[in-house]
Amino acid sequence: MPATWDSRRDDLQVRSLSFRASTLDVKGRSVEAVLATERPVEVLDPRTIEVIDEVLLMSGAELPKQLPLLDDHMRDGVATLLGSARQLRVNGDRLFGRVHVARGRPGSTEERAWSMIEQGHLTDVSIGYTYLSSVNVAPETTETVAGLTFTAGVRKLRVVTWWKPRELSLTLVGADEGAKLRGALEGMITAVGADEGPKLRGALDGKITDLAGATGLQRWTVASILTLPRREAVGCLAEAAGLSRRTITDILGG
């Protein structure tokens, strides 16, 4: 499942997976989750501003004792802390952990989140991580990394050999491969204020749909790219899709 990047979040990369519903512990307010896998995912590389594929090697995961559990990757302070993820361990090509939701006052975000989990309405988590070392495989070539063979497709493949989980988030739409669309949109509307925000959010959502259709990129990728300055975003979209800057500019309008 894909990861995305938001320019407000330093070098933090994210990717989304789901709870294992059968492991729900109501009394202990916890549930098991798959936090990451070695499956290749599409990411936006903030260093080169290009869409690439990425593999996280589980053998390179540096695991802490626990991770903070956040509300949709928001790192604005204690108010966005909902609990923690503990018992982190690798099993084969997957990273597992147990999600613990803190107790709060009636009506608090913690209580609402746990109620939604318990009822099966909230099912997805998204891990935030940083990588410390990696090997790049050029498009349509094959390389051996850490004793494994990797073949890149039409895009560059980054094989991450050393990485650190930084946080885990409860998210609304992780399973449909768009967990960070909401965050990217919010990043673009912050400066316009509360009155114009809803109108701009709707307009941006339409632009994202149009650009995704024209470029063949996924909506969350387009949304993340649009958090960049306009000139950079136009160039990145044009290069990734093999289209002219004029075509992208016409779709964006303004």
pTM (whole model) above 0.75? no
SS3 of residue 87 by DSSP: strand
Confidence (pLDDT) at 134? 94
Q: Find the radius of gyration of the CA atoms of the chain.
A: 19
Segment 62-77 mean pLDDT: 88
d(CA 234, CA 142): 31
* pLDDT tens-digit map of 72-128: 777 777 888 999 999 999 999 999 999 999 999 999 999 999 999 998 888 888 888
49 Ramachandran zone, left/alpha/beta (phi>0; psi -120 to 50) = left
Does pLDDT of 201 surpass 60? no
d(CA 216, CA 240): 9
| Residues, the chain | 254
End-to-end CA distance of the chain: 33
Name every residue whose Cβ is closer than 8 Å to that of residue 47 and which is 6 or more positions away in sequence. Answer: none
Q: What percent of the chain has pLDDT over 70?
A: 78
* pLDDT tens-digit map of 4-62: 333 333 456 777 777 776 789 999 999 998 888 898 888 877 677 778 889 999 999 99
Does pLDDT of 200 surpass 80? no
Confidence (pLDDT) at 174? 55
d(CA 240, CA 73): 26
pLDDT band at 254 (very low <50, low <70, confident <90, very high): low
Closest C-alpha among 107, 5, 2 to residue 53: 2
Confidence (pLDDT) at 1? 32
User: Are 68 and 167 in contact, with CB atoms under 8 Å apart?
Assistant: yes
Name residue 42's beta-bridge partners: 53
Residue reference for tokens 């594929």: 53
Residue 246 half-sphere exposure, CB side, CA atoms within 13 Å? Answer: 0
- Helices first, then strands: H and E counts in the chain: 6, 12
Confidence (pLDDT) at 10? 45
Question: Dihedral angle at the C-alpha atoms of 98, 5, 37, 176, nearest 10 degrees?
Answer: 80
Confidence (pLDDT) at 43? 80
Confidence (pLDDT) at 198? 44
Strands 3-4 and 157-171: unpaired
Name every residue whose Cβ is closer than 8 Å to that of residue 26 and which is 6 or more positions away in sequence. Answer: 118
Name every residue whose Cβ is closer than 8 Å to that of residue 31 and which is 6 or more positions away in sequence. Answer: 19, 20, 21, 23, 24, 25, 98, 99, 117
